[in-house]
Structure 1
Amino acid sequence: MSFKIAIIGAGSVGFTKKLFTDILCVPEFKDVEFALTDLSQHNLEMIKAILDKIVESNRLPTTVTATTDRRKALEGARYVISCVRVGGLEAYADDIRIPLKYGIDQCVGDTICAGGILYGQRNIPVILDFCKDIREVAEPGAKFLNYANPMAMNTWAAIEYGKVDTVGLCHGVQHGAEQIAEVLGAKSPKELDCICSGINHQTWFIDLRLNGRKIGKDELVAAFEAHPVYSQQEKLRIDVLKRFGVYSTESNGHLSEYLPWYRKRPDEITKWIDMSDWIHGETGGYLRHSTETRNWFETEFPQFLESASKPIDPSRRSNEHASHILEALETNRVYRGHFNVKNNGVITNLPADAIIESPGFVDRFGINMVSGITLPEACAATCISSINVQRMSVHAAISGDVDLLKLAVLHDPLVGAVSTPEEVWQMVDEMIVAQARWLPQYADAIPAAKERLSKASVKTRDWAGAARRNVRSIDELRAEKEALKQAV
């Protein structure tokens, strides 16, 4: 088979390499063309060198091209994969820093909450540019696979306003299922079957079967509380399991910022999180992790290039959805996964226009969702709160309506638990002024926001957050990796 796959934001080097090797694990895909595009020529050169090394070492006929001209990369593409971060780490730092001044302590800040909403404002105009190019120069009927956060907002905009065949992809379900299988004593995650449904980063394991045996709440709670590691790292997640009756896909840190109860006061934050790794609730944890990862890659690039000479091993193919979806569409080998699509009645007690994440099957006829799923009422209520925020955020990003943007932030569960309306209004002004270069839709609103800020009356605080760690140096990272090797 020969067709073209374009990857936008291919400078996300580690993730692009994973997608690339996964796809080449499919025997029929050896002749595929990969077209890489990114704003950074430097990042493109690094990832192309790595992928060229993989192709050369495995003696494949695969073609790899790289260009900063996105439209050229998309020409004739059958599949377009996006893993972009608009504004990079510079804008992301503001997503964490500015809300902290108003008492809003986020672990990740890329889905909802103040940071995730502003992230969506930056991404959506660019997503619509991608869609325009896909409609005009990609292969007719091209499929857009979005990996970029905020997943629901980006996918909502691409489907509703970009008018492109779009599916949003995430790995939260897979990671959660691996955890559950482990605590239940399974020899392999494949022994666990699940139905997981909700919205991205708030999906719920509503039916679990271990080797065909149904797993109930009490057994799952007992298994997690008995686990020597997860009982400490997932305290908040386990508490939600006890109260809601079902386990959430999302990590302790991520889940904490989608709810109004656990991060509203510094003493509450430290009670529910674990500092053994960023993902368990650390203030700005993913920002620190992303910064360290970027610095590490830049420094250790020769090692990454050397490792690319290893043979591709199909047994090590990851559980990221993209390669499996492409394989099902092209070969008709059916694939079951969990996908982000427009609801339209798939989940009976969530709004029809929402982007939901739920089970589906893929074959030559496309992605076929399992319909008629009803969430437990508490899960639906939590999802609906976020959906309302997502809807307003998408509409604000499309219209450039700064008042609607402020209302979206005001209705965010964690923001509402921490901040007053006056604080929210000033915080949003500060964020759009700081990020003006990435917010073209708000250009007309920026001067008035600056004027309001010059007369600001709301007091802010100089605060690093309840649980902040400093970015580690390369030497510190090396020492930590060496210590882990010695421990093993």
Structure 2
Amino acid sequence: MSFKIAIIGAGSVGFTKKLFTDILCVPEFKDIEFALTDLSEHNLQMIKAILDKIVESNKLPTKVTATTDRRKALEGARYVISCVRVGGLEAYADDIRIPLKYGIDQCVGDTICAGGILYGQRNIPVILDFCKDIRQVAAPGAKFLNYANPMAMNTWAAIEYGKVDTVGLCHGVQHGAEQIAEVLGAKSQSELDYICSGINHQTWFVDLRLNGRKIGKDELVAAFEAHPVYSQQEKLRIDVLKRFGVYSTESNGHLSEYLPWYRKRPDEITRWIDMSDWIHGETGGYLRHSTETRNWFETEFPQFLASAEKPIDPAKRSNEHASHILEALETGRVYRGHFNVKNTGVITNLPSDAIIESPGFVDRFGINMVSGITIPEACAATCISSINVQRMSVHAAISGDIDLLKLAVLHDPLVGAVSTPEEVWQMVDEMVVAQARWLPQYADAVPAAKERLANSKVKTREWEGAARRHVRSIEELRVEKAALKQAV
């Protein structure tokens, strides 16, 4: 087989490498072309050097190109994969820093809450540019695989306004299933069957079977509470399991941002989170992790390049959906996964226009979703709260309506639990002004926002959050990694 895959945001080096090696685990794909594109020439050259080394070491005919000219990369592509972060870590830092001034403490802040909504405002205009290029220069019927957050908002915009065949992909379901299999004592992941349905990062394991035996709430609660690690790291998720009756896919820290009950007071935050790793609830945890990862890669690049000489091992193919979807579409080997698509009768008790995440099967005929799933009422109510915010956020990003943007932020569950309307109005003004260079649709609104900020009497505070950690230096990371290696 010979076809072209374009990866936008290929400077996300670690993730691009994973996608690349996964795809090349499919024997039929050795002759394909990968076209890498990114705004950063520096990052592009680093990832191209790594991928070239993989191709050379494995004696493959695979072609790898890299260019900052996006349209050139997309020319003739059958598949387009996006893993972009518009604004990079600079804008992301504002997504965390500015809401903290108004009492909003986020762990991730890239999918929902104030940070996630503003991230969507930066991404959606760019996503629509991608879609325009796909329609104009990619292969007819090209499929757009979106990995970038905010997943639901980006996918919603691409389908509704970009008019491109789009699927959103995430790995939260797989990670949640791995935890469940472990606590239930499964010998392998294959022993666990499940139906997981909802919206991205609020997906729920509504049916669980271990070797065909149905697993109920009480058994699952007992298994998690008996686990020596998860009982401490996932306290919030376990509490939600007890109250809702089903387990959520999302991490302890990120799940806390979707719900208005666990992060609205500093003492409650420290009660429910765990500081053993960023993902369990640390203030700005993902921003710290992302910053450290970037710094580590820049410093240790020779080590990463040397590791690319290892042979590709199909047994180590990851559970990221992309390679499995491409394999099913191109070879007909059926793949079952969980995909983000428009809800058209897939989940009966969620809005039809929403982007849902639910089971589907892939073959030569495309992605075929399992329809008619009804999720528990409490799960639906929680999802609908986020869907309403997502819908307003997408419409605001398309129209450049700053008042609609403020209403979207106001209706976010955690923001509404913490901040007053006056605080939300000022916070959005401050975020739009700070990020104006990435928000072209709000250009006309920026001067008035600046004037309101100059005359505002709403008080803010300088606050690092309830559970903030400093960004570790390269030397600190080396010492920690060495200690972990010695312990193993």
TM superposition score normalised by structure 1: 1.00
C-alpha distance in structure 2 between counterparts of 1:344 and 1:360, whole Å: 13
SS of equivalent to 1:207? strand
In structure 2, runs of 5+ residues without a counterpart are none
**1:287 to partner: Cα distance:** 0.0
C-alpha distance in structure 1 between counterparts of 2:358 and 2:457, whole Å: 45
**1:203 to partner: Cα distance:** 0.0
Equivalent residue, structure 1, for 2:171:
171
**1:146 to partner: Cα distance:** 0.1
Size of the alignment, in residue pairs? 488
**1:352 to partner: Cα distance:** 0.1
SS of equivalent to 2:380? helix
Show structure 1 runs of 4+ deviating over 4 A: none
C-alpha distance in structure 2 between counterparts of 1:220 and 1:273, whole Å: 20
**1:188 to partner: Cα distance:** 1.0
C-alpha distance in structure 1 between counterparts of 2:259 and 2:457, whole Å: 28
Equivalent residue, structure 2, for 1:455:
455
SS of equivalent to 2:261? coil
**1:456 to partner: Cα distance:** 1.1
**1:64 to partner: Cα distance:** 0.1
Q: Deviations over 1:210-234 (max 9, x none)?
A: 1111000000000000000000000
Equivalent residue, structure 1, for 2:319:
319
C-alpha distance in structure 2 between counterparts of 1:296 and 1:39, whole Å: 20
Superposition pairs of residues 337-356 of structure 1, within 5 angstroms: 337-356=337-356
**1:344 to partner: Cα distance:** 1.0
**1:97 to partner: Cα distance:** 0.1
Q: Deviations over 1:179-203 (max 9, x none)?
A: 0000000111111010000000000
C-alpha distance in structure 1 between counterparts of 2:160 and 2:291, whole Å: 33
Q: What is the Cα-based RMSD across aligned positions, in Å? A: 0.3
**1:116 to partner: Cα distance:** 0.1
**1:119 to partner: Cα distance:** 0.1
Superposition pairs of residues 76-115 of structure 1, within 5 angstroms: 76-115=76-115
**1:416 to partner: Cα distance:** 0.3
SS of equivalent to 2:300? helix
Q: Deviations over 1:299-353 (max 9, x none)?
A: 0000000000000000000000000000000000000000000001100000000
Q: Deviations over 1:42-72 (max 9, x none)?
A: 0000000000000000000000000000000
Q: Deviations over 1:137-159 (max 9, x none)?
A: 00000000000000000000000
C-alpha distance in structure 2 between counterparts of 1:293 and 1:139, whole Å: 35
**1:114 to partner: Cα distance:** 0.1
C-alpha distance in structure 2 between counterparts of 1:138 and 1:390, whole Å: 28
SS of equivalent to 1:247? coil
Q: Deviations over 1:23-47 (max 9, x none)?
A: 0000000000000000000000000
Equivalent residue, structure 2, for 1:57:
57
SS of equivalent to 1:444? helix
C-alpha distance in structure 1 between counterparts of 2:228 and 2:241, whole Å: 18
C-alpha distance in structure 1 between counterparts of 2:210 and 2:249, whole Å: 17
TM superposition score normalised by structure 2: 1.00
Superposition pairs of residues 296-335 of structure 1, within 5 angstroms: 296-335=296-335
SS of equivalent to 1:357? strand
Please tell me whether residue 218 in structure 1 is matched to residue 227 in structure 2.
no
SS of equivalent to 1:349? coil
Q: Deviations over 1:375-394 (max 9, x none)?
A: 10000000000000000000
C-alpha distance in structure 2 between counterparts of 1:190 and 1:408, whole Å: 41
C-alpha distance in structure 2 between counterparts of 1:193 and 1:287, whole Å: 34
**1:175 to partner: Cα distance:** 0.1
SS of equivalent to 1:445? helix
C-alpha distance in structure 2 between counterparts of 1:305 and 1:215, whole Å: 45
C-alpha distance in structure 1 between counterparts of 2:104 and 2:54, whole Å: 44
In structure 1, runs of 5+ residues without a counterpart are none
SS of equivalent to 2:242? helix
**1:364 to partner: Cα distance:** 0.3
Q: Deviations over 1:209-266 (max 9, x none)?
A: 0111100000000000000000000000000000000000000000000000000000
C-alpha distance in structure 2 between counterparts of 1:469 and 1:204, whole Å: 30
C-alpha distance in structure 2 between counterparts of 1:260 and 1:275, whole Å: 21
Equivalent residue, structure 1, for 2:427:
427
C-alpha distance in structure 2 between counterparts of 1:34 and 1:211, whole Å: 40
SS of equivalent to 1:65? strand
Q: Deviations over 1:272-312 (max 9, x none)?
A: 00000000000000000000000000000000000000000
SS of equivalent to 2:258? coil
C-alpha distance in structure 2 between counterparts of 1:279 and 1:190, whole Å: 26
